[in-house]
A and B are shown apart, each in its own frame.
Chain A
Amino acid sequence: NAGVTQTPKFRVLKTGQSMTLLCAQDMNHEYMYWYRQDPGMGLRLIHYSVGEGTTAKGEVPDGYNVSRLKKQNFLLGLESAAPSQTSVYFCASSWTSGRYGELFFGEGSRLTVL
């Protein structure tokens, strides 16, 4: 009964390096989301997907790219990491649009960019 699984859980990068965060859900959810959480800023939506093969920009998409090649997976990429991208990243999924409230979150991926 895994739910939403994020890998890796921790990562340290140097400025300019690239990396990919992987999110996998086993609940057959259509919608998937990537958020970042920063002190005093709360959760902010980076990108989201309403189904396999689709992606859309959220509130803070700059510096990130995403892909949803399979329904169960949602990848978040950083092409050239910057210190401002130091954050905790959360993946979430849901059955329907956000208006029904129930997002299922992963445990987070803590990224530090030096």
Chain B
Amino acid sequence: QKEVEQDPGPLSVPEGAIVSLNCTYSNSAFQYFMWYRQYSRKGPELLMYTYSSGNKEDGRFTAQVDKSSKYISLFIRDSQPSDSATYLCAMTLLQTGANNLFFGTGTRLTVIP
């Protein structure tokens, strides 16, 4: 079983729709949760970062963590064609070390004008 599971999609929505992207994980020790956005033929870039449970909002984006269910979500409101990208969830343990960042496989999103 993978540490982090993410539906690969692809997901296609009309412009203005609300998008929900999700990941589940198996290791209850994960404490830091991130969403990266990767445009086609580019490297990933950090979009949102949360610590432990709860919600975090940044403009049209909301990251949600439910540690009891081992489930994280990214919501995109009023989706735009520029949001078309692959979204990768990532999470890490509460300990030092550069080798403990676990990525999901990514969900490919297309927002149709």
A-side residues, CB < 8 A to B, are: 4, 31, 33, 40-43, 45, 48-50, 56, 58-59, 90, 92, 94, 97-103, 105-108
Contacts and interface: CB of A to CB of B under 8 A. Distances in A.
Given A99-B32, A102-B49, A4 B43 contact: yes
B22 to A, nearest CB: 15
A101 B34 contact: yes
Contact of B98 (A40, A41, A50): A50
Interface residues on B, range: 20 to 34
Interface in B1-43: 4, 6, 8, 31-32, 34, 41-43
Contact of B41 (A33, A41, A99, A108): A108
A42 B106 contact: yes
Contact of A97 (B4, B8, B96): B96
Interface in B73-113: 88, 90, 92-101, 103-106
3 nearest A-B pairs in the assembled complex, by CB-CB distance: A105-B43, A98-B101, A42-B105
Nearest to A99: B92
A43 B44 contact: yes
Contacts of B101: 45, 98-99, 101, 103
A101 B46 CA distance: 8
A25 to B, nearest CB: 12
A49 B32 CA distance: 21
A43 B99 CA distance: 12
Contacts of B44: 43, 90, 103, 105
Contacts of A48: 98-99
B20 to A, nearest CB: 20
